Amino acid sequence: MPLTDTQKRLVRENKSDFSDLKTVFINCTLKASNQGQSHTETLMRDSMEIMEKCGVAVDYIRAADHQVAFGVQPDMREHGAKTDDWPEHIWPKVRDSQILVLGSPIWLGEESSICRVIIERLYAHSAQVNDKDQYIFYGKTGGCIVTGNEDGIKAVSNTVLYSLQHIGYTIPPQADCGWIGEAGPGPSYGDEMDDGSRAGFDNDFTHRNLTFMTFNLMHIARMLKDAGGIPAHGNQKSQ
Amino acid sequence: MPLTDTQKRLVRENKSDFSDLKTVFINCTLKASNQGQSHTETLMRDSMEIMEKCGVAVDYIRAADHQVAFGVQPDMREHGAKTDDWPEHIWPKVRDSQILVLGSPIWLGEESSICRVIIERLYAHSAQVNDKDQYIFYGKTGGCIVTGNEDGIKAVSNTVLYSLQHIGYTIPPQADCGWIGEAGPGPSYGDEMDDGSRAGFDNDFTHRNLTFMTFNLMHIARMLKDAGGIPAHGNQKSQ
Amino acid sequence: MPLTDTQKRLVRENKSDFSDLKTVFINCTLKASNQGQSHTETLMRDSMEIMEKCGVAVDYIRAADHQVAFGVQPDMREHGAKTDDWPEHIWPKVRDSQILVLGSPIWLGEESSICRVIIERLYAHSAQVNDKDQYIFYGKTGGCIVTGNEDGIKAVSNTVLYSLQHIGYTIPPQADCGWIGEAGPGPSYGDEMDDGSRAGFDNDFTHRNLTFMTFNLMHIARMLKDAGGIPAHGNQKSQ
Amino acid sequence: MPLTDTQKRLVRENKSDFSDLKTVFINCTLKASNQGQSHTETLMRDSMEIMEKCGVAVDYIRAADHQVAFGVQPDMREHGAKTDDWPEHIWPKVRDSQILVLGSPIWLGEESSICRVIIERLYAHSAQVNDKDQYIFYGKTGGCIVTGNEDGIKAVSNTVLYSLQHIGYTIPPQADCGWIGEAGPGPSYGDEMDDGSRAGFDNDFTHRNLTFMTFNLMHIARMLKDAGGIPAHGNQKSQ
C-alpha cells in the first residue's frame, strides 16, 4: 500500500546515510508469479519502499519463480540435483547484502515449505567463513515479514529469526512484523473488501511494527558496517 | 456466552450416553479469581455447558486460585516445597476424569507460565502405571482452549496437545479451539465493545471449532471407555 | 536394524487381527534415492517391519523421489504447476490408508522443507469430506518418526502431530519416536562407528518409543475401523 | 567446570575493555537452592566466569529462590498478589544491566514454567520507555543457556530469544548454547559418571557455543553502549 503519513515523514526526516547498504528481500510464498498475486509481497513492498527512499539498494526475489533444489549443500548440482538456481541466482545477492528479510505466508501455523527450503540453503553455507575467520553471515542483520489469514505470525518469526541468528545474523529489536485477521478463515492482507477498502491496510499495529523493523535493520546494519563487522575474538571458527 | 442455536440443537439431538464420563477443565489464566475476570474461562464455559447438557460430570479448576508448587514430582511437599495444592486438590480430579481440557491465555505467542506448571505436574506422574502396566494417562483423552488478543492459538495448542499425547492421552481430531482478534492489541474474548456487542461472540469459526472439539472429546472418551482403554500389548512399561 | 528380541516377541505374541489395515509411511528426507542413504528410513523400516509382521499392508514413499508441487490445492497442475506427482502417486495411498506415519530429518531444529510440502498438500484436502460429512481424514490415525544428529525430535513431532490432528487424524498416546545424539554434530542414526557398531542401534529408549508408537497406531486404527470411524454428531462439515 | 584451555587463552588475550558493562544471569531451574543442585547453573557458571575475567560486573539470580508473582504488570502487589520479589529484587538488576542471559532446563521439550514467569514479567515492562522514547530494553543484548537430558535446546532458545528481541533486546549471532545427551533419559549436565568423568564436560561443541555466545554478547553490548544505544529514528513509541 502507499506509505502512511508517518512513514513518509520518517523517510523525509531520516538523517542517517544508508546509501552504501544492500538488502535482499526473499518472498517465500508458495505461488510462482504465474500462479497469482502474493499477499506477503504486498506487505513486503512497504518495507522495501522505506528502505529505498532511505537510500538502501534493494533486491527482491520471489523464491517460487526459481528452481531451488532441496538439500543442505551450497550447490546441489554437485550432489545429484538436475537444476539448482540457488548458487547463481540467489546466493550472490544474500552474500553481498548487509540485510536479509524473509517473507513467508502461514500454513497450519508455520512458515511455508519454501521458507524452509531457503533456511536450509542458507544453513548450507554455515561452514564458510569471512576474512576474519568468522561464519560468513557475521556482520549481517536479518528480519522477517509474515502474512496469513488467521494465526501464527510469532510462530513463524520464532523459527525464522532463530535460524538467522543461529547461522550468524544479528537480530535487531522487534525484527518481525505481519498481519493476520481475526481467528478463522477470512481475507488475506490486501484483499479488496465489500466496502472497497483493503484488508489490513488500516492496521496501525502492522504499519508500526513494519516501520520499527525496517529502521532497526538499517540502524544495526549501519552500526555493524561502520565497526567492520563483529570484533573477531572468541568467535572464530578455527578456534 | 449462551450456546448458539446449532450448539443447542446438537445437544438436544445427541443420542450417545455420556453420563458415566467425567471431565476436568483446568484454566491456566495468570489471574486468581480476586484479580479479575478470565477471558479464557468465558470460552471454556461454552464447552463445559455442552458437555454437562450431554450428561458428562464436569469439574472446573482455576489453577491460579491454588498454590501449586513448581517441580516434577507428584507431591512437592516431599521435596522441599512448603505448600503444594496439586496432590490433594487437582491431581485426584485429573486421575479420575476420562477427559482433560487445558485452557490457556497467550503471552508472547505462547501458553502461560501456569499452563507450563500444570504440564510439568502432569508429567511428574508419567512414571505411574494403570492396572494394565501402561502409563497412567492411557485411555484418557485431552483437548485445549486458547484465547488471546492477537496471535498464537496454534502455537499454544501445539505444545499442550503434544505434551498430553506424550504422557499417554489420546488426541481426537481437531482437539483445540480458540479466539484471537486481528493482528495487534485489541479486545479480549468477551470484552464489551462500543456497540454493546461482545468480542468474538459472533465468530462462527470459534464456535464451530469449540463444538467439534467438545463432541470429539466425548466420542473418543466413549470409545476408549467402552474398549476398557487401549489394548495392552506393545505399550506396557515393564517391557 | 533387525528387530530387537522384545520387538520380535511382541510381534509373535500379538493376538489382534490387523490384516485389514493399511499404512503409508512417507519419508521426508531431503535426499532422493540417487543422492544417498536416508538415516530416517533406517529407523522407519523398524516400524514398518513390526506392522508388516502383524499383518498390516504397508506402503513406503520417499517423497524426494517424486515431483510434488508446492501449493495448497489437491492437484496443482490445475493451478499452474507443470508437473505434480501428488494427486496420482501419493494422495491415493494416503486416502486409502487407515494409518499415516511421516518421517522427517531435523534441520535447524525443525522438520525438513519436504515434510512441510507434504503437510501443505495434506491440508489441501481438508475441504473434502467422507460419506458421513466429516473431514476426509476422520477415522484415520497418525504418527511421526524423527532423526537428526543433535536436537529437535520433540519440536518436529509437535508440528507434525499438531498438523495431523488439525486436519482430522486421531493421535494415539506416544505417537512419536526418534533418535538424536549428544549435543553437537556427530553420527546420524545407523552410521557405522569406529568400533563397528552403528549409531543409535543400542538405544533402548528409541526402540521402546518406536514400539509403543507402532502398536498404539495399530490399536487405535483397529478401534476406529471397528467403530466405523468417529460417530458423526457435532463434527460434520455442513453444520 | 573449570574453563577450557581455549577459554583461558581467549580471556587472557582479550583486548576489549568491558569493565563498564553489567550482566545479569537468571537461572530458571524449577528447584530452589534448598531443593538441590542446578545442572543449568553448572553450565551458566562457565559463561559467568568468562565475562568476569573479561571485566564485566556479573550478577546471578536463581529465580526459584524468590517469590515472583504470576502476572504481566511491573508490580503485582498493586494487582492483588500478596508478595512479589520481582520489582525490588530482580527488575532493578535487569534494568541496570546491558546484558541479560536466561538459563533454563528443558521439560517436555520446552523451557521451564519459571522461565515463562520471567518472560512474562519482562514483558510487563514493555510499555516503559528509555530517555529516547524507545522501549526500555532497547540498547540491551540477550542470550540463552539451556540444559536437559534429552532434547530441546533449540526449541527453548527459539522461544527465549524471540521473546527478548520482541521486547527490545538485540540478539547477537549464535546467542544460545546448551547441552543434552543422546535421545532418552540419562545423566544431566555435570552429573558424575561411572568412570568419574562428568556428563557433558568433554563436549567441545557445548564449550565452543558457550564461548561464542559469551563473547558475542560482550561485543554487541560494547558496540551498543559506545553508540549510545540504537539511533532513535523510526522506532520511538509515541510515533
Q: How far apart are CA D110 and CA D106, in angstroms?
A: 5
> SS3 for C230?
coil
Q: How far apart are CA C231 and CA B226, in angstroms?
A: 14
Q: With a cut of 90, say whether residue C149 has pLDDT above it.
A: no
Q: How far is CA C216 from CA B169, C50, C170, C171, in A?
A: 11, 12, 11, 9
Q: Which residue's entry shows cell 534415492?
A: C33
- The secondary structure of D120-179 as a DSSP string is HHHHTTTT-B-TTSSBTTTT-EEEEEEE-SSS-HHHHHHHHHHHHHHHT-BB-TT-EEEE
Q: Which three cell numbers stand for residue D84?
A: 512479589
Between strands C99-107 and A110-111, the pairing is: unpaired
Give residue-wise pLDDT tens across range A76-86: 999 999 999 99
**Nearest chain B CA: its distance from D57 CA (Å):** 30
Confidence of residue A150 (pLDDT cuts 50, 70, 90): confident
Residue pLDDT tens, chain B, 239 long: 889 999 999 999 999 999 999 999 999 999 999 999 999 999 999 999 999 999 999 999 999 999 999 999 999 999 999 999 999 999 999 999 999 999 999 999 999 999 999 999 999 999 899 999 999 999 999 999 999 988 999 999 999 999 999 999 999 999 999 999 998 889 999 999 999 999 999 999 999 999 999 999 999 999 999 999 999 999 998 87
At A1 the pLDDT is 81
**For an interface test with A, which of C70, C75, C83, C159 has the most A Cβ atoms less than 10 Å from its Cβ?**
C70
**Nearest chain B CA: its distance from A206 CA (Å):** 7
- Encoded amino acid at D174, one letter: Q
Give residue-wise pLDDT tens across range A99-118: 999 999 999 999 999 999 99
Q: How far apart are CA B85 and CA A118, in angstroms?
A: 48
Q: With a cut of 80, say whether residue A239 has pLDDT above it.
A: no
- Encoded amino acid at A74, one letter: P
Give residue-wise pLDDT tens across range B105-139: 999 999 999 999 999 999 999 989 999 999 999 99
Size of interface A-D (CB pairs under 8 A): 135
Q: How far apart are CA A39 and CA A48, in angstroms?
A: 15
> SS3 for B102?
strand
**Nearest chain B CA: its distance from C13 CA (Å):** 9
Give residue-wise pLDDT tens across range A121-143: 999 999 999 999 999 999 999 99
Distance of CA C25 to the CA centre of its chain: 5
Quote the Cα angle for B186-B188-B193, to 5°.
75
- Cβ-defined contact of A154 to B155 (cutoff 8 Å): yes
Q: Does C31 touch chain A (CB under 8 A)?
A: yes
Q: What is the CA radius of gyration of chain C?
A: 18
Residue C230 and residue B219 in contact, taking contact as beta carbons nearer than 8 Å = yes
Chain B residue numbers with beta carbons less than 8 Å from the beta carbon of D34 are: 80
- Cβ-defined contact of B184 to A204 (cutoff 8 Å): yes
Q: Which three cell numbers stand for residue C118?
A: 507434504
- Cβ-defined contact of A185 to B205 (cutoff 8 Å): yes
Give residue-wise pLDDT tens across range A182-237: 988 899 999 999 999 999 999 999 999 999 999 999 999 999 999 999 999 999 98
If you average pLDDT over residues D2-17, what whole number do you get? 96
Q: Which of residues 39-68 of A touch D (CB under 8 A)?
A: none
pTM beyond 0.95: the answer is yes
At B40 the pLDDT is 97
Chain C residue numbers with beta carbons less than 8 Å from the beta carbon of B16 are: 231, 233
Q: Does A216 touch chain D (CB under 8 A)?
A: yes
Chain A residue numbers with beta carbons less than 8 Å from the beta carbon of B206 are: 183-184
Residue D142 and residue D161 in contact, taking contact as beta carbons nearer than 8 Å = yes
At B165 the pLDDT is 98
- Cβ-defined contact of C233 to B211 (cutoff 8 Å): no
**For an interface test with D, which of A9, A174, A214 has the most D Cβ atoms less than 10 Å from its Cβ?**
A174
**Non-local CB neighbours of D134 within 8 Å, separated by 6+ positions:** D168, D229, D230, D232, D235, D236, D237
Q: With a cut of 90, say whether residue C18 has pLDDT above it.
A: yes
Give residue-wise pLDDT tens across range C181-225: 998 889 999 999 999 999 999 999 999 999 999 999 999 999 999
Chain D residue numbers with beta carbons less than 8 Å from the beta carbon of B107 are: 72, 116, 119-120, 123
- Cβ-defined contact of B184 to A206 (cutoff 8 Å): yes
The alpha carbon dihedral of C22, C28, C32, C38 has a sign of negative
- Encoded amino acid at C36, one letter: G
What ipTM was predicted for this assembly?
Answer: 0.97
- The secondary structure of C4-69 as a DSSP string is PHHHHHHHHH--S--TT-EEEEEE--SS-GGG---HHHHHHHHHHHHHHHTT-EEEEEEGGGS-PP
- Cβ-defined contact of A159 to D154 (cutoff 8 Å): no
How many CA atoms lie within 13 Å of D150's alpha carbon, on the beta-carbon side?
Answer: 17
Size of interface A-B (CB pairs under 8 A): 68
- Cβ-defined contact of A206 to B183 (cutoff 8 Å): yes
Distance of CA C148 to the CA centre of its chain: 16
Chain A residue numbers with beta carbons less than 8 Å from the beta carbon of C162 are: 108-109
Q: How far apart are CA C183 and CA C210, in angstroms?
A: 22
**Nearest chain B CA: its distance from A233 CA (Å):** 34
At C238 the pLDDT is 83
Between strands C110-111 and C99-107, the pairing is: antiparallel
Size of interface B-C (CB pairs under 8 A): 134
**For an interface test with C, which of D111, D145, D150, D151 has the most C Cβ atoms less than 10 Å from its Cβ?**
D151
The alpha carbon dihedral of B119, B121, B122, B126 has a sign of positive
Confidence of residue D239 (pLDDT cuts 50, 70, 90): confident
Between strands C22-27 and C57-62, the pairing is: parallel
Q: Domain D5-226's class? A: alpha beta
Of B158, B216, B235, the CB nearest to C159: B158
Q: How far apart are CA C102 and CA C118, in angstroms?
A: 9
Q: Which of residues 65-84 of B touch A (CB under 8 A)?
A: none
**Non-local CB neighbours of B230 within 8 Å, separated by 6+ positions:** B134, B138, B139, B170, B224, C172, C173, C216, C219, C220, C223
Q: With a cut of 80, say whether residue D187 has pLDDT above it.
A: yes
All partners of chain D with 3 or more CB pairs under 8 angstroms: A, B, C
Q: Which three cell numbers stand for residue C32?
A: 532422493
Percent of chain A with pLDDT over 90: 95
Q: Which of C154, C145, C150 is nearest to C186 (CA)?
A: C150
**For an interface test with C, which of D157, D174, D182 has the most C Cβ atoms less than 10 Å from its Cβ?**
D182
Q: How far is CA C132 from CA B53, C232, D141, in A?
A: 24, 6, 55
- The residues that bridge with C135 in the sheet, in sequence order, are C129
Q: With a cut of 90, say whether residue C1 has pLDDT above it.
A: no
At A146 the pLDDT is 97
Question: How much is the mean pLDDT over chain D?
Answer: 96
Q: Does D9 touch chain B (CB under 8 A)?
A: no
Q: With a cut of 90, say whether residue A238 has pLDDT above it.
A: no
Q: How far is CA B200 from CA A191, B156, B180, B214, in A?
A: 22, 19, 8, 18
If you average pLDDT over residues C14-40, what whole number do you get? 97
Q: Which phi-psi region, left, alpha or beta, contains residue A193 (left: φ > 0; alpha: ψ -120 to 50)?
A: beta
Q: How far apart are CA B186 and CA B198, in angstroms?
A: 12
Q: How far apart are CA B10 and CA C48, in angstroms?
A: 41
The alpha carbon dihedral of D94, A177, C162, C104 has a sign of negative
Quote the Cα angle for D210-D143-A105, to 5°.
115
Q: Could you count the other beta carbons within 10 Å of the beta carbon of residue A94? A: 21
**Nearest chain C CA: its distance from D15 CA (Å):** 29
Instruction: Give a three-class secondary structure readout of chain A.
Output: CCCCHHHHHHHHHCCCCCCCCEEEEEECCCCCHHHCCCHHHHHHHHHHHHHHHCCCEEEEEEHHHCCCCCCCCCCHHHHCCCCCCHHHHHHHHHHHCCEEEEEEEEECCEECHHHHHHHHHHHCCCCCECCCCCECCCCCEEEEEEECCCCCHHHHHHHHHHHHHHHCCEECCCCEEEECCCCCCCCCCCCECCCCCECCCCCHHHHHHHHHHHHHHHHHHHHHHHCCCCCCCCCCCCC
At C150 the pLDDT is 85
- Encoded amino acid at C85, one letter: D
All partners of chain C with 3 or more CB pairs under 8 angstroms: A, B, D
**Least CA distance to B146: which residue of chain A?**
A183
Q: Which residue's entry shows cell 491440508?
A: C123
Residue C48 and residue C25 in contact, taking contact as beta carbons nearer than 8 Å = yes
Q: With a cut of 80, say whether residue C239 has pLDDT above it.
A: no
Q: Domain C18-226's class? A: alpha beta
Q: How far apart are CA A110 and CA A104, in angstroms?
A: 9
> Phi then psi for D98, rounded to 5 degrees?
-80, -25
Q: What is the CA radius of gyration of chain D?
A: 18
